[in-house]
Amino acid sequence: MTDNECAARIEALCTQFKLPTVGAEAVNQFNRAGHGEALSSLLEVLEMEAEDRSQRRVTRLRNASKLPAGKIWGTLECDRLPSGLTRQL
């Protein structure tokens, strides 16, 4: 990944995490301090945070749905649903 792509991804992730100042200034501060090579490590940590947040969101939504364990899309019995709902699915 090029430096520009890395910087753009860091900024995008920080914006996603609602850290716009960090996203706007982190790359510049690292480069000014002579630690530009550390940006790939920073990006790796931010990617890990994004994945962790995604997994926690899935878990939270799954728990909120109160579906029984093992209930997945593949086990849905479409023949038990009204035809209009089946078309929407």
At 20-78, the pLDDT tens digits run 999 999 999 999 999 989 999 999 999 999 999 999 999 999 899 888 888 888 888 88
- Asked whether residue 89 carries a pLDDT value surpassing 80, the answer given is no
pLDDT at 56: 97
Res. 9 pLDDT band, cuts 50 70 90 = very high
pLDDT at 86: 82
DSSP string, 10-68: HHHHHHHTT-HHHHHHHHHHHHHTT-GGGHHHHHHHHHHHHHHHHHHHHHHHHHHHTPP
Find out whether 22 and 33 touch, Cβ atoms under 8 Å. no
Q: Which domain covers residue 19, as residue numbers?
A: 3-88
pTM, rounded to two decimals: 0.75
Count of domains forming the chain? 1
> What is the rounded distance in angstroms from the CA atom of residue 19 to the CA atom of residue 9?
13
> What is the rounded distance in angstroms from the CA atom of residue 55 to the CA atom of residue 37?
29
